[in-house]
Amino acid sequence: MQTRGDGHDEILALDTNGDGQPDLWAIDTDGDGKADLFQSDTNGDGQPDVTMVDLTQDGEMDIIVEGDGGHPAE
């Protein structure tokens, strides 16, 4: 999905389990063509329950947050 109008897809939503709903998102937050924010809905409730951020874009996740909607689990 394009959000900036620059011809690049900033959000890629994938249906990895075949239920017709996206459960994995890769998001390019700075427009450089590389995803740096990833979210996954592992339990199928429609809310991301794992959010991962690659701050340095070196392929390693610098921040991983678990909890529904990207909020930390209590």
Length of the chain, in residues = 74
53 beta partners: 37, 63
Domain ranges of the chain: 11-70
Tell if the pTM clears 0.85, that is, is over it: no
**Low-confidence residues of the chain, pLDDT below 70?**
1-8, 68-74
Q: Given this model, what pLDDT does residue 22 score? A: 93
Q: Given this model, what pLDDT does residue 26 score? A: 93
Phi, psi of 28 (to 5 degrees): -95, 100
Task: Provide CB contacts within 8 A for 16, sequence distance 6+.
Answer: 23, 24
Q: Given this model, what pLDDT does residue 51 score? A: 92
The DSSP symbol for 72 reads P
